[in-house]
Chains A and B, each alone.
Chain A
Amino acid sequence: MTEVLDRMEATKYLVGRLRDELVVTSLANPAFDLFLAGDRPENFYTWGAMGCAVSIGFGLSLASPGKRVIVLDGDGSLLMNLGALATVGRYPTKNFVDLVWDNGSYDITGGQAAASATNADLEQVARACGIANTMTVSDMASFAKACDRFLTEPGPWVVVAKVGPTPAGRKTPVAALSDRYLLKEPFIKAATAGAA
């Protein structure tokens, strides 16, 4: 079996390296993992609008050019909004990172295979959209090296991280995230801090 990353471990590692980066999550698993790995004012969690996280992050990268914006995306979500990559390629903001947790499936609904499991190479899609800075990683060592680059080098970046399925029995922080979901003012304050 091909080696894959543990998504939660990778999220915890990433959180450990963050400073003032703004993080936007796609719905469900990327949001749950980030919330459990380390809630911080600079996190914005979505819980709907599947596919839109990449676009929210892109809009934010336009409005907050002094901050690096990292989207924690899912392969199923990105597949729903591939046109967004064409837009990022057209207006390439240097502070934009789309980190795609790619488990090749619709994990949250029971693991039905996604096109990313068979035929759709999301890194190649990004490249074909004119996004030059792309990587695909599938173990912690290469993920750590990817972080070295997308946290410091100009983007836009699209980084595909091959991850395994969500472990059975993991609790989802539904109640706590419901409250946090509505609390966006600290995020806006962080996003606009230092702006002219």
Chain B
Amino acid sequence: MTSWAKHFVDCLKKNGIKLITYVPDKPIAKVVTVAEEDPELVAICATREEEGVGIVTGGFLGGMRGALLMQTGGIGNSLNALTSLAIPQQLPFLLVVTQRGELGEFNLSQVPLGRSLRAIFDAVGIQHFTLHDTDEKEMAWTIQGAVKLAYASRVPVAIILAQGFEGKLEWQA
């Protein structure tokens, strides 16, 4: 099937991203499934998102562009590495965060960080852009722009995949 995930991976590749590091959640798993079957990509599952920051910044030092994919909670797990490694030492990568804690959330433990996500990014100086649906043109434009911005500004730039971005279906659970 030609899925949004295939298009997403194609966009990453077109922008020179080769290293896909992730801690899975449901949408991320779809991207990773495509990435893992692609011999041109290196897909690495980290045990914790902060570890992922280390892996993609190390990849950058070796000349490999990287993306780090995680759910909202992973930002909580990776803030120290973002603010004391990636940002001060200017080690860029594309951060892809699947939104939790917003429209339709069923798990209250996801809410405090989910609703703070953009404020946290603003506070530490990480620019962020949100994809609200799987529109291919918008996805291509946003990924290209975010990657360009990250490597021009030499800091990570985030794309947030909004809750429900895969389709405006009935909220689950």
Question: Which positions in A face B, CB cutoff 8 Å?
Answer: 22, 24, 44, 46-64, 67, 81, 83-84, 86-87, 90-91, 181-182, 184, 187-188, 191-192, 195
Contact = CB atoms under 8 A, between A and B. Distances in A.
Interface of B: 19, 21, 42, 44-48, 50-64, 66, 80-81, 83-85, 88-91
9 contacts: A49-B54, A58-B55, A62-B64, A63-B59, A63-B60, A63-B64, A184-B91, A187-B61, A191-B63
Contacts of B50: 49, 51-52, 55, 81
Contacts of B44: 62, 87, 91
A81 B77 CA distance: 12
Contacts of A181: 89
A57 B63 CA distance: 13
Nearest to A90: B45
B45 to A, nearest CB: 7
Given A59-B66, A62-B62, A87 B45 contact: yes
Given A49-B80, A49-B81, A182-B89, A56 B64 contact: no
B66 to A, nearest CB: 7
Contacts of A83: 46-48, 51
Contacts of A184: 61, 89-91
B84 A63 contact: no
B63 A50 contact: no
Contacts of A24: 58, 61
A191 B46 contact: no
A187 B51 CA distance: 21
Nearest to B47: A83
A192 B44 CA distance: 21
* B47, B51, B80, B88, most chain A CB atoms within 10 A: B51
